[in-house]
């Protein structure tokens, strides 16, 4: 299933005057056509689906999430896998909805949604994290509160089940924004964050990916950094809550075969994650080195704040022009202060979903 969009429309199907049998036949045909249009899931190319990203009425709340971008094409997914990934994203939306319906904050929702995605083997974060060159898992995450501009991040932590909680702990319980490596691990232990065995992170698919990149690397050093077909599976979430506050978070295992303590964009505030109540909340996925160099998430926000550009225009300009010109693949998801959603990507696909308090819900994977 490429896209699920549920919508309701008022249809004026009852003629006001009496009609003869021919008119009746035509009316019935018209009725049937309208009924079919209203009931069928609309395709990703449908204009309505796209314009619904922008809200004519400001919704009370909005949840947007991603599970990574890359070579995501229908041919590469079994129907079972597609169904399971769709369900995981839908369940994550439901978790966020529950938090926000219960008057929770954007920050609460971000953590709960991302924890659910981190606990799934489908995405490159938490349980499904990719392997480093040394066969380990080094996890990066960040979270930002658009109301206070507070932020927390961790880079290269090992053995912690939910890195997004580590990022939140840095924000709440340290005077810093970002901790990395050994020091970050010590801090997370002191915070009593749940730890898991190395085996918890083992997935056959990720192990095979490492083996295939290592094979490529025999011919070329640093193969991963040259590999444009790489599938990015980072997870992220952006939320506008009922109080008008924005927040964003991102969590990842980074890139397969990473080494030397490489840290990508996911824990870098302004690159992979950014939230500002004056503009928008964003989480990115893609080739992190480019997202860092071009300060992607902050650039989108700055274009809105200083250039008066809409969220949709700003995010498309950065993802489809700036990044493409630079050779950086990936995408972003986010929501602005008025509840407009943007989800541009320059790869073949991106796991993405959103839900608005108005009842509108979208789950997509592939390009038009």
Say how many residues touch ligand ASP, by CB under 6 A: 15
55 or 234: CB nearest ligand ASP:
234
- Report the nearest approach of ligand ASP to the CB of residue 15 (Å): 54
- Which listed residue (105, 234, 252, 285) is catalytic? 234
Our CB check for ligand ASP shows the closer of 97 and 262 to be 262
Nearest residue (CB) to ligand ASP, 37 versus 326: 326
Shortest Cβ distance from residue 260 to ligand ASP (Å)? 14
Q: How far is the CB of 46 from ligand ASP (least distance, A)?
A: 28
CB–CB of 309/279 below 8 Å?
no
> Which residue among 55, 61, 64, 68 contacts ligand ASP (CB under 6 A)?
68
> Applying CB under 6 A, which of residues 95, 223, 240, 266 lies at the interface with ligand ASP?
266
Q: Is residue 156 a contact residue for ligand ASP (CB under 6 A)?
A: no
The footprint of ligand ASP on residues 229-258 (CB under 6 A) is: 232-234, 252, 254-255
Burial class (CB in 10 A: 0-12, 13-18, 19+), 319: buried
Q: Contact between 265 and ligand ASP (CB under 6 A)?
A: yes
Calculate helix-pair angle for 106-118, 163-173, nearest 10 degrees. 150
Nearest to 364 by CA among 333, 337, 336, 339: 333
**CB atoms near residue 312 (< 10 Å):** 17
Q: Is 234 a catalytic residue?
A: yes
Structure-block tokens of residue 143: 């979270």
CB 266 within 8 A of CB 234: yes
- Least Å distance, CB 100 to ligand ASP, is 25
CB of 306 to ligand ASP, least distance (A): 26
CA separation for the pair 263, 272 (Å, rounded): 11
Neighbouring CB atoms inside 10 A of 200's CB total 14
Sheet with 273-275, edge to edge strand ranges: 273-275, 280-286, 330-336, 341-342
Both tokens of 112, joined, read: 């709960």
Footprint on residues 283-322 left by ligand ASP (CB under 6 A): 285-286, 288
Catalytic site positions? 234
> Which residues make up the interface to ligand ASP (CB under 6 A)?
68, 124, 232-234, 252, 254-255, 264-266, 272, 285-286, 288
């Amino acid at each position: 299933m490429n896209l699920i969009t549920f919508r309701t429309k008022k249809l004026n199907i009852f003629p006001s005057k009496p009609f003869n049998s021919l008119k009746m036949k035509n009316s019935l045909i018209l009725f049937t056509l309208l009924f079919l249009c209203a009931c069928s899931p609309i395709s990703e190319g449908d204009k309505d689906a796209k314009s619904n990203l922008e809200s004519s009425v400001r919704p009370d709340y909005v949840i947007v999430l991603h599970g990574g971008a890359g070579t995501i094409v229908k041919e590469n997914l079994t129907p079972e896998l597609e169904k399971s990934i769709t369900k995981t994203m839908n369940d994550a939306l439901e978790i966020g909805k529950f938090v926000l319906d219960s008057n929770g904050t954007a920050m609460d929702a971000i953590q709960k949604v991302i924890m659910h995605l981190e606990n799934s083997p489908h995405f490159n974060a938490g349980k499904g994290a990719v392997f480093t060159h040394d066969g380990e898992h080094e996890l990066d995450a960040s979270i930002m509160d658009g109301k206070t501009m507070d932020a927390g991040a961790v880079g290269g932590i090992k053995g912690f089940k939910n890195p997004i909680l580590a990022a939140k702990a840095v924000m709440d319980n340290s005077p810093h924004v970002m901790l990395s490596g050994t020091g970050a691990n010590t801090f997370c232990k002191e915070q009593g964050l749940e730890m898991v065995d190395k085996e918890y992170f083992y997935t056959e698919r990720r192990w095979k990916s490492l083996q295939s990149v290592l094979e490529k690397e025999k011919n070329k050093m640093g193969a991963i950094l040259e590999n444009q077909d790489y599938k990015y599976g980072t997870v992220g979430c952006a939320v506008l809550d009922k109080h008008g506050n924005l927040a964003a978070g991102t969590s990842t295992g980074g890139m397969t075969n990473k080494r030397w303590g490489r840290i990508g964009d996911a824990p870098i505030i302004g690159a992979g994650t950014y939230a500002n109540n004056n503009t928008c909340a964003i989480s990115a996925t893609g080739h992190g080195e480019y997202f860092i160099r071009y300060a992607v998430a902050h650039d989108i926000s700055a274009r809105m704040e200083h250039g008066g550009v809409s969220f949709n225009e700003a995010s498309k300009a950065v993802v489809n022009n700036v990044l493409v010109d630079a050779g950086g693949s990936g995408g972003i998801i986010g929501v602005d202060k008025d509840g407009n959603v943007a989800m541009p990507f320059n790869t073949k696909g991106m796991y993405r979903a959103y839900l608005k308090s108005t009842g509108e819900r979208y789950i997509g994977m592939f390009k038009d």
